Amino acid sequence: MRHDGRTALVTGGARGIGLEIGRQLADRGLRVLVAARRPEAAEEACRAIGPAAVPLALDVTSARSVTEAVREARELTGGIDVLVNNAGVSLDGDLRPPYVDEDVLHATLDTNFTGAWRVAQAVVPGMVEAGYGRVVNVTSSYGSLTLMDSGRRPAYRISKTALNALTRMLAAELYGTGVLVNAADPGWTRSGMGGSSAPRGPREGADTPVWLATLPEGDETTGGLFADRRPLAW
């Protein structure tokens, strides 16, 4: 498959929403780096996506892994134009605040928030240098301060609140550089995390992240939180 010269890196790209994001980006002509902790999982996903997909071993919880993976990605493609921070975990289930084990809290933040920060820190400088970039942080309305109340999955929710804050800070810092930074809520989607009873399929869940990842040159949409391509309150 031919590609338009743009390269996208999708973390957590081996299954669920991440796999579908990669598939849709490839369908739009991008080369897709499918990043996953297990190389064999990334390779299997690439076979499902097609020849535009390239497997990449990347563990967002390891600074060394991120550095090495981004270096390999640049050697393979010349640069990364689009970053979709999709890797995420939900470990606290039905627990409610303040009753969450600290190990669960730390592990959740390390993947969902710090992991996204690590990858952005490694990728964004190259985007700024090139004068073009799209960063999409896959988040959840569970992290919205406007909608925040008590409830289950407190560690997961806090991690997405922090990811939303990072989105806004990055967007403001990079304003005018050609790098657009936005957050996408895919909705409750059937996946390893969302479960089989979710009302949406991966195709619907991937739509808004893919839309933000492919905003055309000259677009100034940045610093926003979107669901179904419509703005949501932070």
Q: Which of 99, 132, 142, 156 is labelled catalytic? A: 156
CA–CA separation, 130 vs 79, rounded Å? 9
CA–CA separation, 130 vs 146, rounded Å? 36
CA distances from 8 to 96, 98, 143, 199 (A): 36, 38, 25, 28
CB 209 within 8 A of CB 17: yes
Strand order across the beta sheet in which 7-10 lies: 53-57, 31-36, 7-10, 82-85, 133-138, 179-184, 225-227, 230-231
In the residue annotation, 156 being an active-site residue is answered as: yes
- Residue whose tokens read 């979709």: 84
Residues annotated catalytic, as ranges? 156
